[in-house]
Amino acid sequence: MACTNSANNRIVSIDVECMATGFTHEDRAPCSVALVDTHEAMVLLNIDLNAQNGHLATEDARASILLYLQYKDNARDLIDARRRLLNTRPRTTPAKANNYKYEGVCLSAYSANLCTCGRPIRGDD
């Protein structure tokens, strides 16, 4: 989700991480809040947010601040950063790497072909 404040042109990106509370892709509960995407951190900062101790929201926040400081006053570098992000293919997601099922938990909330729990697919309403 991105929110902008037109008065001072501030931008905030929020990524809410969820954990499985059951076995269907609907059984989720928020467990942490992150401020940057792992793809952005890897491509623009050469930081792998999943490298140590799993995925931590605090490391996401640190990377978000570093990105903000690096590009806040430099429009030319920001344009180049956007180009690099669009031209760099993201890594395989953990869901895809595990065929959309991990430890019995369905990870496919958006594709009926990959869903293993039989619950309604999101976006079908």
- In tens, the pLDDT along 34-66 reads 556 778 888 988 888 776 666 677 777 788 888
Residue 42 and residue 67: Cα distance in Å, rounded?
11
pLDDT per residue as tens digits for the range 96-121: 888 998 888 898 888 889 999 988 88
More confident residue, 19 or 33: 19
Domain positions in the chain are 2-92
Q: Which among 9-18, 76-85, 94-103 has the top mean pLDDT?
A: 76-85
**4, 5, 13, 64, 70 from 8: Cα distances, Å:** 9, 6, 16, 19, 18
